[in-house]
Structure 1
Amino acid sequence: MSSSIRTSRRQFIKTTGATGLALGLPTIWTQRASAAGQLTVADNGGALGPIMRTAFYDPFEKETGIRIVNVAHESDPVTQFKLSVDSGSHIWDLAMVTPDNVLRLTGQKNYLAPLDIASSDGAGILPGMLTNNWFGFSIYGVVMAYRTDKFPKAAPAGWRDYWDTAKFPGRRALFRSPIGLFENALLADGVAPKDIYPINVERALKSLDKIHSSINVWWANGAQNTQLLQSGEVDLSDTWNARALAAISAGAPVKIVWEGTYNVDGWSIPIGTPNLKQAQQFVRFCMRADRQAQYSSLVANGPSNSNAYKLIDPARAELLPTFPRNLERLTRRDTAWWGKNFDSANEKFQEWLLNA
């Protein structure tokens, strides 16, 4: 390792030490390639890592000869992303980010390199999934699920039905966070999907007033949500579609109601990476229908390339959020609104939870 690289590495660790972000750097730096034959990709880690390798990393390596080293970033990668660019260390060539991450990475200073992908090259890509600095490939929904053994005949068909405890009695659960919950509360109150944003927080809370006494569990994480549905502890719940599918895959009599919102994970490239052309090549690779089809066959997130559905088993396709019939009833989350208003909205929500 050259002295300049050692100095850059020490400087980065010193810069990030206060936030604890240096913990994983020794592994990253020993694996980091100086040649153009390797890309370091930061993804969400955990169980997703092997799926990403099967669907994207290994096939890209086989096709191009460019090695992919994947590392897990923090749940909120923005600080790591900025420090990597500002320090000049360039420990990542690509990172998996959400639209709200992109807003924070282009606000006061631009941290994102261009993808150099013309819109005309995005055949089959859903609207809004390809910009000059971000490509969204993994779509997940915030929807409703219910136990079919509890509702064998008349079943809830939307959020208005969830709020109708007389017609659809049963144990209920909701996520202990305003994101997604406020949108669904407004849908239950009769707000049209096109009018959800900007969110009327007071109206959302008044809608929640009507259902609060009937909520048996306020769940805090995805694993808990799956367990609630799978065990039958609750009969209806809001859910992330992947968590409902996990219960279904385990044999639980659960059905998803496709009404709610969706959000997207995608790729952005840190500005200044010495492997820009190879990183752009990898993003193009992830746009392909065959790659996205394999990804969505392994994880319950929907593809952004509509042509992928020609390659996905029909029974599986119907359980994905971008399946045309499902997507029709989903509204894309306004991450710009949440970015500006989350703190105040969450404060009001937490106060409501304590006092309702």
Structure 2
Amino acid sequence: MKTIELSRRNALKVIAGSSALLAAPAILSRSYAQEGGFSVGIPGGYEKAFQTAFLDPYEQEFGIKPTPILAGTSTVEIKAQVETGKFFYDVRFSVAATGNEVLAEAGLLERIDDIDSEDVQAIYGALPEAQRRPTFLPHGLSAQVIAFQDHLDFKDYADIWDVENLPGARALRGQGKDTIEAALRSMGKRPSETASFLANEDGWKQVFARLDEIKDHVTNWWEEDSDITRLLGAREVDVTAFPHHRAMAAVQSGARIKYNYSQSMTTALGWVIPKNSPQAEAGRKFIAFCSRPDRIADFTMDVPMGPMHPDVMALLDPAFAVALPTHPNNVENIESEDVAFWHKNQGQANERFKEWLLG
């Protein structure tokens, strides 16, 4: 599969107004449209699974070849495209629920909850009403797990902080939200307690004091999921917290790591369409196709997110399904992130974190 890469650095150049970067993707998008095609933004590490489960079957059924664009996790890419009118991709896969809140509030996304598809509506119908968003269709649930080399044993987040009894190279995400949540877990706080704990300045001070305890023992502040997956596989890092589906996929690929769902916080990942995307209708049709239970099941076998469609679990091997966060055996160990809190506070959390990290 030939995948066009859109890196975080390039996205920042778009914001800065780089005419060269703006022109080339616009030409590519027009070319796709002339051929009846469209482009799909996907995160790194999903390329092979996405091709097998979605792109190839779509081309076989409709005779249209979607073009994959390798995208980062930052919402800045979508913001840049909408504001400049230069679109790198027409539909975006695997945006976090908090990212959707930011983009939707700014009016940067198309409505997709009215897609005429039984499968799309089945996914929306299975969600609690408070979690339904008109611009966001969840395709999978990602749970933060504690992942570590197979000769070690980390039972919870407090163990990550226990550098005296459990020595080794730590890695934490170089981003405020996830690392602050990790610190809170190590303090025994649940995701549902995040908002109340950080309701005043004293709570923030306690979190960063907790991070002070481990800062000198962190050998890598990673940003992209694919980066930490590689570091774990190369045994350059002993323990971290990162998405369960990346851990499961790494194990399937031969990485000698273990992981557990202790104190696990979940994030919904889903589809969005950038506002005024020139191929929005094609994107809606593609989302409907990719929401079929058999397509989700195929993708889940390679990228094992917790499926959101209620009919998918029955299509999976029971021995495989039991390891997913949405399996009945695991739901008691997971808890959803506070999307409303992080929508309002992620900006200040990142600023505080950057200042602390550089201090």
TM-score tier (shorter): 0.7 to 0.9
Cα distance change on mapping 1:133 and 1:255 into 2, 3 Å: same
Indicate the residue corresponding to 1:205 in structure 2: 208
Q: Which residue of 1 aligns with 2:147?
A: 145
- Matches of 2:49 and 2:100, distance apart in 1: 24
The match for 1:312 is 316
Return the alpha-carbon distance in structure 2 between the equivalents of residues 240 and 55 of structure 1: 20
Q: Does residue 174 of structure 2 align to residue 173 of structure 1?
A: no
Deviation at 1:297, TM superposition (A): 0.9
- 1:16 to 1:336, Cα distance in 2 relative to 1, 3 A: farther
Q: 1:52 aligns with which of 50, 53, 64?
A: 50
Change (3 A) 1:225 1:311: same
Runs of 5+ in structure 1 lacking a partner? 1-12
Say which SS state the counterpart of residue 197 (structure 1) adopts.
helix
Contact preservation (8 Å) 1:184, 1:260 = no
Cα 1:273–1:236 change in 2 (3 A) is closer
Does residue 255 in structure 1 map to residue 252 in structure 2? Answer: no
How far did residue 185 of structure 1 move?
A: 0.9
Structure 1 residue 306, shift from structure 2 partner: 3.8
* Inter-CA distance 330–181: structure 2 relative to 1 (3 Å threshold): farther
1:72 paired with 2:69, answer yes
Of 186-195 and 309-318, more deviation after overlay is shown by 309-318
Count residues with an aligned counterpart.
Answer: 331
CA-to-aligned-CA distance 1:96-117 (integer Å, 9 cap, x gap): 3433443344324464134315
Partner of 1:27: 28
**Post-superposition offset of 1:137:** 0.7
- Aligned equivalent of 1:238, options 238, 241, 244: 241
Quick one: distance in 1 between partners of 2:17 and 2:231? 39
SS at match of 2:111: coil
Counterparts of 1:209 and 1:58, CA distance in 2: 48
Provide the residue aligned with 2:229 in structure 1.
Answer: 226
Measured at CA, do residues 166 and 129 of structure 1 come closer, stay the same or move farther in structure 2, by a change above 3 Å? Answer: same
Partner of 2:188: 190
Separation (CA, whole Å) in 1 of partners of 2:319 and 2:334 = 20
Stretch moving more, 270-279 or 234-243: 270-279
> 1:41-98 deviations in whole A, cap 9, x for unaligned?
42226543443232123333444x26242342653332244147xx5x8886533343
The residue type equivalent to 1:241 in the other structure is H
Aligned-partner Cα distance in 1 for 2:247–2:137:
26
Instruction: Give the C-alpha shift of residue 30 in structure 1.
Output: 1.4
Deviation at 1:278, TM superposition (A): 5.4
Q: CA deviation at 1:257?
A: 1.6
State the TM-score, normalized to the length of structure 1.
0.76
- Sequence identity of aligned pairs in percent? 27
> How far apart are 1:183 and its partner, in Å?
0.8
| Correspondence list, 1:114-125, <5 A | 114-117=112-115, 121-122=122-123, 125=126
- What are the Cα deviations for residues 268-301 of structure 1, in whole angstroms up to 9, with x where unaligned? 3455568666544433332222111101112233
Pick the structure with greater CA Rg. Answer: 1
Q: Give a deviation string over 1:292-346, Cα, whole Å, max 9, x none.
A: 1101112233322243122223343344343343444333334554444334323
Distance 2:213 2:102 in 1: 36
- Tell me the alpha carbon deviations over residues 202-254 of structure 1, each in whole angstroms, 9 at most, x when there is no partner: 23212223333443444454454234433444432222334433542343431
- Whether the aligned pair in 2 keeps the contact of 1:82 and 1:105 (CA below 8 Å) is no
Distance 1:183 1:20, change over 3 A: same
Distance 1:210 1:110, change over 3 A: closer
Contact kept in structure 1, 2:49 and 2:303, CA below 8 Å: yes
Kindly indicate whether the alpha-carbon contact (under 8 Å) linking 1:43 and 1:49 is maintained by their aligned counterparts in 2.
no
CA distance in 1, matches of 2:329, 2:167: 27
CA shift in 2, pair 1:105/1:188, >3 Å: closer
Taking structure 2 as the reference length, the TM-score comes to 0.75
Change (3 A) 1:232 1:321: same
For 1:139 and 1:58, how far apart are their aligned partners in 2? Answer: 24
Q: Do 1:140 and 1:263's aligned partners in 2 also have CA atoms closer than 8 Å?
A: yes
